[in-house]
Structure 1
Amino acid sequence: MTTISNTTSSTSSGVSTDVYNRVAQTMAPASAAANKVNASITKDQTKLSALGQLQSALSNFQQLVAGLTGDGLSTSAASSAKSVLTATSTGSAKAGTYAVDVKQLAQGQFLTSDDFATDANGKVGTGATTTVKIDFGTAGGDKGFVANAALTSKSVTIDASNNTPDGIAAAFKAAGVDVSVVKGKNGEYSLSIAGESGAANSMRISVSGDAALKNLLAYDPTGTQKLTQTSAAQDAILTVDGGKEIKSASNTIKDSAIAGATLNLVTAGKSDVTVAAGASQISDNLKSLVTAYNDLNAKMQKLQKGDLKSDTAMNQAVNQMSQLLKTGGGSVSVTKLAAAGLSQDKDGNLVLDDKKLQAALTTDSSAVSKLFTTSDGRGIADLLSAKAGSLSSTSSVLNKETSLVTNDIKSLTAKKASMTKALTAQANALAALYTAQAQTGSGSALNGTSTGTGTLFDMLG
C-alpha cells in the first residue's frame, strides 16, 4: 500500500488537506496504472481459484469412479454408523463384517498470535526484511522436536511491501502455509496458522529480522513460544476387529485398515463396516456413478458459464467427457448402454432408467457389467475414469494453465511491490515539496475542503 496521511495540523507528522489534494491530483495517472495491476492480480486469482475447483472436481470424480471399476462394480461397503465413518469398496475387499473402533481423528496443528494493533497504515513492524522459516516434524516426545525428513521447510519473506496483516497472511499462503487474519471489535488483529493433519506435521517457526515480527510469530515447541497452540497435530488412530492400532495422518484411510476398502473417518466412535459382493450391488453402484458424473457436470457447467468462460482447459474437459458418453469411446455400444437404462439428457446429465436396468440385470448381469468395466479397461466407467485422470494430470492443459496463471500472479505481485516502493517515495517527496512551498508561499496548493483528522490516500486501492 502506498499512503500519505491527510491531517489538518501543519505541525503533525501528516500533511495538510491542501497538500494532500495536490499530491493526489499529481499522482492520479500513477494511481490509475497501479489500479490496473491490482485488477490484473484479482482477475488472475479468480481464474486460479476456478482452475483449482475444476482440478478438484475431476480428481474427486476419477477417484470415485475408479472404485467402481473391475470387481468394484459388483461390490459395496457400508457403515452401520455414518456419523462415525463412511466406507467404499474398490472391489478387492473380502465380503464380511468388520468392527472398526475409531479412537481419535487426525487433525492439524493450529497456532494463534496475540492480539496486536497496527498504525494508521496497517503496518506491522518497521518493514525491515524479515525471514520466517517453518519446519515440520513431530513434537512432544522425549527427543523434543524431530524434523520430518519427507517434508521440505517453508520460507516466507516479509518486508515493507507486505508487512500488513493481510500481506503477512498472503505471504504465508504463497509458501503453502494456511494463515488467516482475524480482526477484533476494537480494531486489533490476530493471525491463525493452520497446519496439515498428522502428528509429523507439527510446526516450528523461527524468525530473523524485524523484532516486532519475531515477537509475533516465533514458535518453538521446546523453546520460545510467541504463538499459542490451540490444537496439536495428531494422527488418526483406529483398530479393526480388536487388532493392533492403525495410525494415519489423514482421516481418509485406503486399504491399510480393510484391504480393498476406503474409510472416511468423521468422529471418534465405533461402527461395523459390511462388505457385500454380488450382482445385486451393480445397480446401486451404477446409481453412484450417475450421481458422481452429474455432480461433475453441474460443476463444469457452472465454471464454463462463469469464471472459466471461453477457457481452453474448461472447454476441453466438458467436450471430451460429453463426447465419450455420446460415442462410447469406440469400444462401448451406446445402443446397448441405452438398452441397459443409461442415457444423456439435453443438459449433458446422465439418466438411469431403473426399470430397463433391472430387466437387463435379470437377463444377463455379466453382460451389463462388461458395458461398464472390463479386465482391459474398455468399459464406459473405465474410460470415464481414465479421461478424468488425463484431464487433471501433470501434463494436461489444465495443469499448464494453472502454472501459467500462478507465474503471472508472482510476476504481477513483484511488479506491484516495485510500484508500491516507487510510488511511496514519490508521494512522500511531493508531500514534502508542496508542504515547503505552502510554508514559504513559493507554490500554490489546491484548496482543500476536509476538516477531519485523517484519511488515507491509497495509491494501490
Structure 2
Amino acid sequence: MAITSAGIGSGLDINSIVTQLVAAERVPIDNLAAKSKSFNAKITALGQLQSGLSSLQSAVRNLTPTGLNKITATSSNTTLLSATTSGAAKSGTYAIEVIERALPHKLGTKAVASATDKFSVPNAEDPSTPIKTGTLSITINGVESVNLGAGEHSLQDIANAINATGTNLSGRIINNGSGYRLAISTLNTGAANKISITGTGALASLTYSPTADPSSQDTEQLQAPKDAKLSIEGMPVTRASNTISDAIDGVTLNLLNAAPGTQVNLVVAEDTGSAKNAVKAFVDAYNSLHTTLGKLTAYNSDTKTGAVLNGDVAARQITTALRTELSTQVSSNSGVKTLSEIGVSFQRDGTIALNESKLEKALAADYKDVARLFTATDGYATRLNKKITDMLATDGVIQSRTEGLRKNIVDVDKQTQRLEARIAQTEIRLRAQFSMLDVTLANMQNTNTYLAGQLSSLQSSNQ
C-alpha cells in the first residue's frame, strides 16, 4: 500500500523540515521587501519636501513685483467713493467732490391692457377693420439698435426684440396696476446715450424724440441721461461713466453716490501692511520647510539610527541651495543689501527670525528700497523663485531622485518575482525528495521488520 502522507513512513516531520528550508531560502526576499519599503518611505518623504518647497515658493511669489509693489487707495467716505489701484499709481492725497453721478436714459411706454395682444389703431378708411401692422426703429444717439419690420407686434414682442439685440439696450415689461408698460433703458450711462423711437402704423404711438414736446408724446422720459460730474483737487471732471480710470494715473474711481459740497479725501500710498505680512509669511514658510528637513534627515546618536532621508543627496542639495541664496547679498540694490538689515536673520538652529519692529522702520524709511531687496533681478525673491522652480521641475532634484527610487523599486520587484519562482520550484523539489526519502525509509523499516521476524522464526525452530 503506497504512503501518501509526508512523514508517515519515516516518522520525520517532513512538512516542518521543508517549511524551515523554504523559509531560509526566503531570507533574500525579506531583505528585498525591506529595501522596497525603504524606497517607498523615501519617496513619501520627498513628497513632503516637494509640498514644503511649493508652500515656500507661494510665499516667495508674494514678494515679487506683482505681489509686493502694491499701492492702496483709501477713501475717507466709502458711501460716496471707492477706488482701486494698479502698479502705475503714485502716492498722494486727492480731494474729490462727487457732484453728480452718470445716469442711463430711461423711457416708459403708455399702459396697455395686455402685454401679449398685438397693437392696433383705428382704420380711418374702414373702421370695422383696425390696422394691426406697423414698424418700429429704436436708435441710440442716431445709431439704430432695433428694427422691427412691418408686421403685427405686441409689447412683449418689442421687449424680446430689444433684449435679443445684445446692444446697449434693455427692455422690461412692468405691470403698474393700471396696465402693462415697457421700460426701455440704455445699459451705458452718459448724456450721449439718448434713445429715439420711430413707430409707424399700429406702433406709431410708441414714437419718442428727445427734442419733441413731452406733452405731445405717449412714450415718456423716466430719466434723462447724464454724465458724471466731479472735481479733483478743485478741477472739474466730466465722464460718461461712474467708473473713471483715466483721471488719476493708476487709480480707478468708483462713484457711489453724489453729494455736492462734500469733500472726500482719497489717500494713495504703498501697502506697507501687506508687505510686512508677506515677509512674515515667507519667514514662516521657510522655517516650516527647515523643520521638515530637520525631521527627515535627523540622526539619533543613542539608537545610532537615521531618519528616512538621513544622508540623502536631494535633501542635502535643497538645504545647501536655500541657505546659500539667503546668505548672498543683493548687490544691485543701492540701499539695503541683506535680509538682516530689514530684521530677518539666521538663528543657531538654522531657522530665520523676524524682528517686526526693524522691518516696520525699514518700510517706513524707504518702502521701495525694501521692495527692491526682494524684487531686483538678483533680489532674494527673484533668485529663490527661480531656484525653487528648478528644484520642482520634472528634471529637478526632487523628481530626479524620486524617479531613481521608483526604478529601484521596479528592479526589486523583478528580483523578488525571480526569487519567488525559484523558491516555488525549490519547494516542489524538496517535497519530492523528502517524499522519496519517506518511502525509502518506510521500505527499509518493512524489510527490517521482515528480517527480524525471519530471524526470530529460525531461532525458535533451532530450539
TM range (shorter): 0.3 to 0.5
Higher relative contact order (CA 8 A, sep 6+): 1
Q: Normalising by structure 1, report the TM-score.
A: 0.46
Of structures 1 and 2, the larger Rg is shown by 2
